[in-house]
A and B are shown apart, each in its own frame.
Chain A
Amino acid sequence: MSRERILAAARAALGRTAPPDAAAIRAEAATLLAGPDRGRPPRTGTLTERFIERLTHPKVGGTVEQVAMLTDLPRAVRAYLSTNALPARIAVQPEPRLQALDWSGIATHDGVATDEILAVALADCGIAESGSLVFHSAPTSPTLFSFLPLHHIVALDTSKLLEWLEDYATAYTAAGQAQPRNVNIITGASGTTDIEGRLVRGAHGPGFLHVVLFGG
């Protein structure tokens, strides 16, 4: 069986005479990441400032606005629709907090179509270091919401901002924690550099990413 063959070949190549010591290996792996901020990029400003600075950096290309509360989201969406001259028909993630908002004046549906123009979603958390949004797949958070629409409007609670990528790992993937089917870490609108290395937006995923920060 190939499984045994591969493992035996690996053990022979490593010169193992005894089974690997799992506890020692785990300890060594943990030590590697132990140094304070080992190998991390520099940081300035507050957590929210850093997040905004990264998200709106030309390399990431997101846009952002800040509102007081989640209930201000429909107003922000209406303004976005009118600024961009988009039809008032949008997909809203089947997330109870979003569904409970007052969407009057806009026709909403809770599924995302193949050629959806605009979808609104609530991120599970954000990462300041890279200006990223994190989505966990769930019955209330279908994965395709982040990939099919042309315009992606994402609400994010500022109290859900994390500093570093590793902080996400510590908070959500520690031993024994059940993992969602998909964790999507989204950093800016879709893009490609496949033709002559030049960045072009809107490759397969959304061409526009707009973040509405609330709280804080």
Chain B
Amino acid sequence: MRPNLPPFQERAGAALRDKTLKLAIDRTTGTAERNRAVAVAAWPEFQSARDLGRDIRAHVVNNIDHYLVEFERNAVASGAAVHWAATADEACQIVVEICRKAGAKSVTRSKSMLGEEIGLPHALEAAKIERVETDLAEHIIQLAGDPPSHIVWPALHKTREQVKELFAASHRDPGAMEDVEAMVQAARRELRAKFMAADVGISGANFLVADTGSVCTVTNEGNAELTTTPPRVHIVTAGIEKLVPSTAHAMALLRLLVRSATGAELTQYTTFHTGPKRPGDRDGPDEFHIVLVDNGRTKMLGDGLAEMLRCIRCGACLNHCVVYRHIGGHAYGGTYPGPMGSVLTPSLDGLPASRDLAHACTLNGSCQEVCPVKIPLPTLLRGWRDRSWREGLEPRSVRRALWAWKFVATRPALYRAVSAFAVLGMQLFAKRGWIESMPLAGGWTAHRGLPAPASSTFMQQYQARKRAAK
């Protein structure tokens, strides 16, 4: 979790009051949802492809020790240096050390959520190395000083008007920026020279291919290759779960990843990087380093969260989540937002600091329905709720309320009397079928209406019908 955050309720409340944020979230997630729907409709085999995706990822997770060793062997044979980092700090130290050895003053980075997870931007800053984010969205949030708010569109919380202001204030040659096209051109001009001047390029990995030792990256913009090709040193930071057995397996997953993320069939640039520059090559890095990062993944494997390690970071569960679409990414407080983030954050940052996330879910199941590798996200979230209860992390008010509910619910006569009374009470506040405000329900009604209950309880109606039928 980011340091010094107010409680989740406050963060979510602030996000709900921010109307510009809602507009920004709707613009991107709405487009993503529509584009994905079109791509999926054009693919009759989609469900069987999801089964395949699930099976490939589950196979890798179940044999992760084998694939790590195979990948390392082949990567080293191709001339790569492979480093292992058990923790986020260790990973950052390794990266900073490589940069220091290379005498790096300037580092270009192509978007990587793992880099965010391990706090690499801060580590580079602390080491006084200039960090240039090259993905357009990362460039925007670097200028704004914001953390990412989505795993595919990190600047999704910014409207075009806000981007224009940022560029106007910080670019050397922003131009008029009359439309989004012109803003993209402004960023292209601004970053071009920096790509060529960097000493080190850092990327993430979408897949680590075990049988070739290759690292696969995908981007729309071409910034990954411009980050990894000109500098003398290329460093990859990758979570250990990113492995796939072979290039063919990566291809099957790419189909799912891209359609689920953006609705395209393949990202513009899919690149397999294998080792450093070869004799006679005119470009490419002299050194190629791969940092394999655990940072809690082996713990997840033993902690009943193996299914979560299947995640290919497509972002579909965020785009289809009613909660994410109302509060956006920052309110979640961790590196990863939305449903997948609510499962990952307690594991990465500890349950005491993040127990609210598992509760901020309607369990409507949309995330699981769209997940290309069929991760049972609602079940995993319920697992965290359960654990939070067992570990005594739920506040006393919640425990008391649940005990009271249990007391009433296990006494049918009492339950009927109380619910009949509640229905009557709620009727007093209903207008045209909706309750806009009611004592004790402010937490709900501040941002949405509550459907008014029927005029009598289910049991009352049931009894009445039984009597009428006689």
Contact = CB atoms under 8 A, between A and B. Distances in A.
B211 A175 contact: yes
B51 interface: yes
A178 to B, nearest CB: 9
Interface in B111-150: 134-137, 140
B240 interface: yes
A204 interface: yes
B225 A147 contact: yes
Contacts, number: 298
Nearest to B282: A142
Interface residues of A, number: 83
Contacts of A22: 66, 70
A190 B268 contact: yes
Contacts of A137: 278, 281, 283-284
A123 B343 CA distance: 43
B59 A32 contact: yes
A1 to B, nearest CB: 8
B229 A194 contact: no
A88 interface: no
Interface string B266-308: 1111111111111111111000000010100011011000100
B313 interface: no
Given A114-B192, A169-B246, A181-B281, A191 B271 contact: no
Interface string A1-15: 111011101111110
A119 B378 CA distance: 50
Contacts of B66: 20, 22, 25
A195 B180 contact: yes
30 contacts: A2-B294, A5-B86, A6-B298, A13-B298, A14-B65, A29-B246, A33-B52, A39-B53, A40-B49, A54-B265, A60-B265, A137-B281, A142-B281, A147-B229, A165-B254, A166-B251, A181-B284, A182-B225, A182-B229, A185-B270, A192-B136, A192-B184, A193-B28, A193-B153, A194-B153, A195-B136, A197-B30, A203-B136, A203-B188, A205-B223
Interface of B: 24, 27-32, 42-46, 48-53, 55-56, 59, 62-66, 68-70, 78, 84-86, 90, 134-137, 140, 153, 155-156, 158-160, 163, 180-181, 183-185, 187-188, 191-193, 195-196, 209, 211-214, 220-223, 225-226, 229-230, 240, 245-252, 254-255, 262-284, 292, 294, 298-299, 301-302, 306
Interface of A: 1-3, 5-7, 9-14, 16, 20, 22, 25-26, 28-29, 32-33, 35, 37-42, 54, 59-60, 94, 111, 114-115, 129-132, 137-139, 142-144, 146-148, 164-166, 168-170, 172-173, 175, 179-198, 200, 202-206
